[in-house]
Amino acid sequence: MSDGPRLVYVCEGGDCSEKGSVELFEELRAQIHDKDSGNKSNIRVRKFPCFGGCAHGINVVVYPDRCFYSKVTAADIPEVVASLLENGKKIERLSGKVEKDVEQITFDLLTTGF
C-alpha cells in the first residue's frame, strides 16, 4: 500500500443511484468520520461516475488496496468500515462479482489518475 491517502469510491451511476448509492455514500463517510476522528487513517470517500458493473451495484472500490466490492448495502457499511480502519482484510463475500476486465479497467484508470 502506498503512503498516500486510501480512496474509497462509491458509484453514483444511474443503476447504483437507483439502488441507494447516494445515501450509502453519506452513511459510509459519516461512519468513517465517527470512528476515525482526525482522519488518522488518511481515508477519503469520494463519488465515482460509473464503474461499468451496473448489474452488480451498488459498487464500491477501495484504492490502492484494489478491492472492488459489489452489491454493497447499508447493512455492509460497518464491515467495510472495520476493514478500512481495523483489520485491513478484503471482504471476500462482496468481491469477485463483476467481470475481471471491469475491475482491471477501473484500477488502471485510478492508477493513471485519468
Give the domain ranges of the chain: 6-112
pLDDT of residue 3: 67
**pLDDT tens track for 16-72:** 999 999 999 999 999 999 999 887 889 999 999 999 999 999 999 999 999 999 999
pLDDT of residue 6: 92
Grid cell listed for 112 = 493513471
Q: Provide the b/e sequence for 4-41 (b: ≥16 CB within 10 Å).
A: eebbbbbbbbebbbebebeebbebbbebbeeeeeeeee
Superfamily of domain 6-112 in CATH is: Glutaredoxin (3.40.30.10)
